[in-house]
Structure 1
């Protein structure tokens, strides 16, 4: 296979995954990003949860997410060999309901998943507290979702950077301002290439006219906490809930930290953390897992998800030699393997993975 010059614009989880896979396939790769490994990927929760994220009308996103989830164990194993283990957790997910309205929503989700052939187990509040003893007595019931996994996002980013380096990818610490056939315009001049891949997350819409208006920033705040010697241990698996209409998740880390997220609202490119956002997260988490009130608060941060107009990402060719790999919304970490494999397949003139066709940017025309 001819070694192409590939410019990957964006160094988050998607860009780094594409860079690693493309470099490992023998391509000459340059990643263009002023701060690779940061951005929204750095403050992500790490959930790999196509089932728990599913909802009626979003079948294409479910299929693409499940295709990527199937690739995750092999992706993690190969990454461990090239750059280090990404902290993949196979413990599964629980989704809990606190009141009648929450329980009704989960019943809709369970019925929907059953109708499309994805089974989850509905359990009582008592059973849920046996599964996760730290849950509040107010939990009425919920769903057990053993197939949804989690990953340590920061371990993953460090591993991807190391793997890309090891496979020969180069890094250009500049900000891209435009991507067109054959070149990427940066703050320091033009970078020529055979193929450009736009993986710049929430900033992608400013780089190519076909993405203008199709990708927008969606702000999310997260907290990182750590159990103390006198507090209850974190849950053993990811815990998700909706509290007063707001989604809440608790994702444990192997090192004892607990990631609490996430607010979600339109705020343009504002990445400041608000007092209200922190209060809502802590109040919501205490209603689900009361012991968290005794935890050490380690970090507060905000990131900008790359939201698309229909929950699906944009994967495919925009024009001669320019590919989109952006707009993954809440599922950037989940869909990193299938996205990277799709780009490498296109570079080789091969068919992309199942489900990718539905995410082609041309669907908006």
Structure 2
């Protein structure tokens, strides 16, 4: 079949890459491999992202995490396998991690609870102000920009889609005909089809990139997710003594400009957890727009005959790329969706019930 994938972030690229061996695939995006996927932290961490009430998201993320080693091997991509440390600075932060640990234990996913001294033996970069934490050895991480480079797709139309309907994608001044359209335009998906108008919204996030300078302390070898007076911050190691620090979260529409306050807060919270970064160089500040959904679950499935959607992944676009791409391939081939929790039909059901 002729398939047009609208959107060139990690979800659209993964879907196009997975469909290409069996179909005639065209990708539409004015600037592929950029946006939120380009400024992501690179964590594949369903366990430390989990929270009571989001059981479906935890199960979906865990299943996708299990697919990542094979997915990465197909792409020739290296995964970081040291795991995650969740660190709490004060008593209230420790209480939140206790809630997380108990929730995970009830779901059969035990994690190791460690005191501050034990954490520093595992990860010497963690500062003396950290009170306690969790060690999660099963989490993974990757270099998101290297992933995007390896998903590079040759059949790209560098244009903005204006609307989608069965059999066609409307561009500026032209139309692309097709058998199937896949809407994977992230935060911009809501403007492309009426069913998505109120289902997907932009959620702004800012990240920083740091590099160790001569004589500075080494960066952590684990991904470190900190809670500092209930404010989340993460530090993800990269090759070459680099760190990605993130991420703020704002409901700010389509504003993608980095703010002074966002940079200040990220540095302040990150330094409370890993004090050695005070001697690092600040090499990049960037912002992206995540695609948020009403319930934090993605939307993957048919909107109507000929129109599929794969969007609404919020903080978990990288994590959920393999399972989303596999699901879209199966749906295009005529199989039922393998991830019913992400079925966009739930939007209609909830609207009707309300």
TM range (shorter): over 0.9
Runs of 4+ in 1 over 2 A off after TM superposition: 350-353
Q: How does 1:93-132 map to 2 (within 5 A)?
A: 93-132=84-123
2:320 to 323, 335, 347: 335
- 1:139 lines up with 2:147 in the alignment: no
Q: What TM-score comes out, normalization by structure 2 length?
A: 0.97
Describe the SS at the equivalent of 2:314: coil
Structure 2 partner of 1:47: 43
Q: How does 1:177-256 map to 2 (within 5 A)?
A: 177-256=162-241
- Determine the C-alpha separation between the residues in 2 that align with 1:205 and 1:245: 31
Describe the SS at the equivalent of 2:318: coil
Q: Are 2:89 and 2:229, in contact at CA under 8 Å, matched by a contact in 1?
A: no
Shift of the alpha carbon at 1:364? 1.5
- 1:67 lines up with 2:63 in the alignment: yes
Describe the SS at the equivalent of 1:268: coil
- Determine the C-alpha separation between the residues in 1 that align with 2:181 and 2:208: 35
Describe the SS at the equivalent of 1:135: coil
Q: How does 1:340-355 map to 2 (within 5 A)?
A: 340-353=325-338
Structure 2 partner of 1:10: 7
1:27 to 17, 23, 29: 23
Any unmatched runs of 5+ in structure 2?
Answer: 349-354
Structure 2 partner of 1:149: 140
Structure 2 partner of 1:262: 247
Structure 2 partner of 1:282: 267
Shift of the alpha carbon at 1:90? 1.1
Shift of the alpha carbon at 1:210? 0.6
- Determine the C-alpha separation between the residues in 2 that align with 1:186 and 1:250: 39
1:361 to 333, 344, 351: 344
- Determine the C-alpha separation between the residues in 2 that align with 1:34 and 1:123: 47
Shift of the alpha carbon at 1:350? 2.3
Any unmatched runs of 5+ in structure 1?
Answer: none
Q: Deviations over 1:236-275 (max 9, x none)?
A: 0100012233210000012321000000011100000110
Shift of the alpha carbon at 1:188? 3.5
Describe the SS at the equivalent of 1:335: helix
Shift of the alpha carbon at 1:127? 0.6
Q: Are 2:211 and 2:241, in contact at CA under 8 Å, matched by a contact in 1?
A: yes
Describe the SS at the equivalent of 2:127: coil
- Determine the C-alpha separation between the residues in 2 that align with 1:35 and 1:186: 14
Q: Are 2:337 and 2:343, in contact at CA under 8 Å, matched by a contact in 1?
A: no
Q: What TM-score comes out, normalization by structure 1 length?
A: 0.94
Describe the SS at the equivalent of 2:245: strand
- Determine the C-alpha separation between the residues in 2 that align with 1:323 and 1:242: 38
- Determine the C-alpha separation between the residues in 2 that align with 1:181 and 1:255: 47
Over aligned residues, Cα RMSD in angstroms? 0.9
Q: Are 1:246 and 1:263, in contact at CA under 8 Å, matched by a contact in 2?
A: no
- Determine the C-alpha separation between the residues in 2 that align with 1:52 and 1:58: 12
Q: Are 2:8 and 2:184, in contact at CA under 8 Å, matched by a contact in 1?
A: yes
- Determine the C-alpha separation between the residues in 2 that align with 1:12 and 1:88: 19
Describe the SS at the equivalent of 1:333: helix
Describe the SS at the equivalent of 2:11: helix
Q: Deviations over 1:333-360 (max 9, x none)?
A: 000000000000111122443xx10111
- 1:58 lines up with 2:49 in the alignment: no
Q: Are 1:174 and 1:188, in contact at CA under 8 Å, matched by a contact in 2?
A: no
- Determine the C-alpha separation between the residues in 2 that align with 1:305 and 1:15: 14
When the two structures are aligned, how many residues end up with a matched partner? 348
